[in-house]
Amino acid sequence: MKSNPVYVFAVHAAFVAMSIAALFPFLLLVAASFTDEQAIIEHGYALIPERFSLDAYAYLFSNSVMIMRSYGITAFITVVGTTLGLLITTLIAYPLSRNILPFRSFISFFVFFTLLFQGGLVPFYLVYTDLLHMKDTIWALLLPNLLTNGFFILLMRSFFSLSIPGEVVESAYVDGANELTIYYRIVMPLALPGLATIGLMLLISYWNDWYNGLIFINDGTLFSIQNLLNRMLADVQYLQQNNLSGQAAAATSVPISTVRMAIAVIGVLPLIAAYPFFQKYFVKGLTIGAVKG
């Protein structure tokens, strides 16, 4: 089938416009991270640096050992967390999408309720420290984000009910397959676009998480990259506003505005690199025939 060229052009034009809107501030950010600090205070942000400077990156990487270790920790929790999260999410979301599941209404409600009601920070902290004793352990970075709450489950459930035709599951059932086999052999491959979506969302939430690190981790060797970067920024920021005689000189030499931007760049780059991997599955979603073959 041939598409109308005017139509194709209009679609591309719309996306070019959207891309500019999304890219412009981002490029501004990248440019700012390569600009001389004083130039930013004097003239504001500019797409082409007034005075080019690598000071911000030099400052951040003056502690490259810690940065590398934090990258490692973040990579670890992101990979393990995303995998485990996807597994548990789909394990509960798939049965929920089947209306033969016993106690289905109750389980749905059980999941849904977590979306709205939270105990609050203190009880959450107490469960992870006093009960599970996970303070200053890698578990504290991994577990709280696994499902976070029922959102991903409910979303995944809707993907399952949308993309898995009942007849396919029924016929497999008639053929003697058990539920676990059906889940693994039929349901998962068919739900690839949904899996990729939830996987990407989990990945982003793990990569960008600073909250759990902030409340559970004091041990510098366990800092995730976001925690480390935020901390480096918070420290100089504080020192610049509250002059402590011994350190004022050291702190004020830090190019804080540009460091802030460089941190955003460093924090986001690996995510951008990982993105195409997920995109494969959005476009491709397997067809039923392919699975049956």
Partner 1 sequence: MGDRAIQTADMPKEWRTRKVRTRALNKRLSYVRRHWMLLAMVVPGMLYLFINNYLPMFGIVIAFKDINFAKGIWQSDWIGFDNFAYLFQTQDAWVITRNTILYNGAFIILGTVIAIFVAILLNEVKNRFFSRLYQSIILLPYLISMVIVAYLVLALLNEENGYMNRYVLPLLGLDPVSWYSDAGKWPYILTLVHLWKTVGYSCIVYLAAIVGINQEYYESAMLDGASKWRQIRSITIPLITPTITIMTLLAIGRIFSSDFGLFYQVPLNSGALQPTTDVIDTYVYRGLMTFGDFGMSSAAGLYQSVVGFALVLFTNALVRRKNRDLALF
Partner 2 sequence: MGMKWTTPAKSATILLAAAIGLAACGNAEGEPKSNGGGNQSAPNKTYEVVMTYPAFGDVTDVQAVQDAISAITAEKVGATVKLVPVNGSNYANQLNLMLSGSEKLDLAYTSVWFGFESQVSRGQLLPMDEPLAASGKGILETVPEATAEAGKIKGETYGIPSMKAWALSPSLVMRKDLLDKHGIDTTGLKTWSDADSVLQVIKDKEPGVAPMVSYTAQETPGTAMLYFDPLGTAPGVLEFEGTDYAVEEITATDAFANMAALMKQWFDKGYFNKDIATTQETGSSLIKAGKAFSFIRNINDCYTESVAAGAELVCVPLESSYMTRNSVASNMMSLARNSENPEKAIQVLDLLYTDEAVINLFTNGIEGKHYVKSTDGLIAKPEGVERTGYDSNQYAVGNNFLSYVWTGNAPDIWKQLQALNESAVKSRAMGFSFDINPVKAQIASVTNVQNQYDAGFQTGISDPAELAVYREKLKQAGIEKIVAEKQKQLDEWLDTK
Contact positions toward partner 2, by CB under 8 A? Answer: 38, 41-42, 62-63, 66, 84, 87-88, 91, 121-122, 125-126, 129-137, 139, 142-143, 146, 171-172, 175-178, 180-185, 214-215, 218, 220, 231, 234-235, 237-241, 243-252, 256-257, 292
C-alpha radius of gyration, the chain, whole number: 24
**Pick from 235, 62, 216: nearest CA to 137:** 216
Cβ-contact 206, 81 below 8 angstroms: yes
Cβ-contact 251, 239 below 8 angstroms: yes
CB of 180 to partner 2, least distance (A): 5
Binding-site partner at residue 282 among partner 2, partner 1, none, CB < 5 to 8 Å by type: partner 1
Which of residues 9, 12, 52, 292 is near partner 1 by CB under 8 A?
12
Residues contacting residue 123 through CB under 8 Å, at least 6 positions apart? none
Q: Which is nearer to partner 1, 1 or 249 (CB)?
A: 1
CB of 122 to partner 1, least distance (A): 5
Binding-site partner at residue 256 among partner 2, partner 1, none, CB < 5 to 8 Å by type: partner 2
Residue with tokens 């509960």: 92
Please state, in angstroms and as integers, the Cα–Cα distance from residue 92 to each residue in 95, 111, 189, 196, 205, following that order.
6, 9, 16, 17, 20
- The residue type found at 108 is S
Does the footprint of partner 1 cover residue 81 (CB under 8 A)?
no
- The SS3 of residue 35 is strand
> Counting every residue, how long is the chain?
293
Does the footprint of partner 1 cover residue 208 (CB under 8 A)?
yes
CB of 256 to partner 1, least distance (A): 11
Cβ-contact 169, 186 below 8 angstroms: yes
Which of residues 95, 135, 139, 291 is near partner 1 by CB under 8 A?
95
Site for partner 1 in 110-149 (CB under 8 A): 110-112, 114-124, 126-127, 131-132, 143-144, 146-147, 149
Which of residues 75, 155, 239, 291 is near partner 1 by CB under 8 A?
155
Does the footprint of partner 1 cover residue 288 (CB under 8 A)?
yes
The DSSP symbol for 55 reads H
